[in-house]
Every structure is written in C-alpha cells, then in structure tokens.
C-alpha cells in the first residue's frame, strides 16, 4: 500500500501546511499517513542546517510574503507567534509519548499541538499554550484523553526513555538524510521509497506516486479569499 511518513515538529509553519494538505489527500490518494514526532532543533543541529530566519532577508520573505500566502492558499488558520522560534521540546516529547501509549490518538493530539502554536485561542499566546502546564487541559480537549491517561502521558513525556527516544530517533533521521521539516518519505505500491522536503513538493510527489494533484484543498476547488484583482 502507498504510505507517506511525515516527520514533524509543531514549531515548523511549513510543516503545518504540509500536514493539512496530507490529511486532505489521504482519501483521494488512498495512502496511509504515518506520523513521526521529532525534534527539529536536534535535526538542524545534527545536519548543520540553520533556521531560515537566521538569514535576514529569508526571515522577511518567510514572514511577510510566503507564510501568509501559503496560509491563505492552503486555507489553514495561522497566526505567527509573537515570540519565535519557540522551544517545542516538551510538545514533541509529549507527542512521542502518545505515539507509544496511544498511537491511535496521535493524529488528534498532533492537531491540538499544531493548533496551540499556530491557532491558539483568542487572548492566548502561543508561548503560553506550549508550556507543559497547559498540556493537561489541551489533551483533554473534546475528551481526547481522560485525567488518568493525561497524568500517565505527562509522566512518561519527562521520562528518560521518551527523552532518549526523541533524541535518538531525530539523530537517526539525519543519518537517513533529513535536514529540516517537513521531511516526508513516500512509499509507492511498487515498494519504491523517496524522500521529499518542503510543503511545496506535492505536485511532483503526485507525479512520482502516479496520483493527481488537485490543489491544496485536494478537490480542485480554488481556495476562498482570492485577493481582489
């Protein structure tokens, strides 16, 4: 079966967009979406890569031009955090813990953490929303986890086991070729695999998979809110 494995950290805005697009294409492209929580800071450091924001013009292009347009184009709720970059290590350890103890709820939990960073409730700052003290309430959203489950996840997320797993797996991913996120490894029905980097490779990815690219909404509709001409 076709699968696409998304290696991600909720700190990455382009990964937010890629994640939305992947979820929309799961049905039309008929693939299994595999989620792998990682720590971007570790991947950047181990690969010798630097955040785009460290090049002044790249930061301006990213914040003023590319990200707002991609948010509109992919119809993704998006508010750039007042403080950035944020340290999402606790988020990613928590998601890594959930991957172990409740893999069937990892996607919903991932939605919640992406939301905490990029679409926090009115009046809440992203940097507050990603403090561990805010996690119990977040993980209880719509009854996703019970109080006991949350307690267990919180405890596990600060364990050496989970800390080491996140660190080791992020390091291993760099050995496999990654240098930033979104890093996606697509596997075709004929067994071939291929890595893709960036939220902007879905069109050639469709080509390689033998699938149809129908725009970011996955159904050929144009995004709403086209800027007036």
Q: Which residues bind a copy of itself (CB under 8 A)?
A: 47-49, 55-58, 60-61, 65-66, 69-70, 72-73, 174, 177-179, 188-190, 192, 194-198, 200-201, 203-204, 207-210, 213, 215-216, 222-223, 226-229
Rank residues 1 and 122 by Cβ distance to a copy of itself and give the closer one: 1
- How many contiguous H segments (helices) and E segments (strands) does the chain have? 11, 4
Rank residues 130 and 186 by Cβ distance to a copy of itself and give the closer one: 186
Chain mean position to CA 208: 22
Give the shortest CB-108-to-a copy of itself separation in angstroms: 28
* Annotation says 12 is catalytic: yes
> Is 183 in a helix, a strand, or coil?
strand
Give the shortest CB-28-to-a copy of itself separation in angstroms: 16
Secondary structure string (H, E, C) spanning 92-114: HHHHHHHHHHCHHHHHHHHHHHH
Catalytic: which of 12, 157, 170, 199? 12
Give the shortest CB-2-to-a copy of itself separation in angstroms: 9
CA distances from 123 to 90, 119, 128, 129 (A): 22, 11, 10, 11
Rank residues 152 and 214 by Cβ distance to a copy of itself and give the closer one: 214
The sheet carrying 3-8 orders its strands as 32-37, 3-8, 183-187, 193-197
Active site residues: 12
């Amino acid at each position: 079966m076709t699968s696409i494995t998304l290696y991600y950290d909720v700190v990455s805005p382009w990964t937010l967009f890629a994640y939305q697009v992947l979820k929309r294409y799961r049905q039309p492209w008929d693939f299994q979406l595999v989620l792998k929580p990682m720590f971007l800071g570790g991947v950047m450091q181990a690969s010798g890569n630097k955040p785009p924001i460290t090049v002044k013009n790249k930061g301006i292009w990213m914040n003023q031009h590319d990200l707002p347009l991609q948010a509109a184009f992919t119809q993704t709720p998006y508010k750039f955090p007042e403080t950035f970059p944020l340290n999402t290590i606790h988020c990613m350890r928590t998601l890594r813990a959930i991957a172990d103890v409740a893999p069937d709820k990892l996607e919903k939990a991932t939605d919640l953490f992406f939301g905490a960073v990029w679409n926090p409730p009115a009046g809440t700052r992203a940097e507050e929303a990603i403090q561990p003290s805010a996690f119990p309430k977040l993980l209880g959203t719509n009854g996703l986890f019970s109080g006991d489950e949350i307690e267990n996840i919180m405890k596990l997320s600060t364990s050496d086991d989970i800390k080491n797993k996140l660190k080791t797996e992020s390091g291993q991913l760099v050995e496999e070729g990654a240098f930033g996120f979104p890093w996606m490894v697509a596997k075709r029905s004929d067994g071939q695999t291929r890595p893709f980097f960036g939220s902007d490779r879905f069109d050639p990815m469709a080509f390689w998979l033998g699938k149809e690219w129908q725009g970011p909404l996955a159904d050929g509709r144009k995004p709403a809110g086209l800027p007036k001409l």
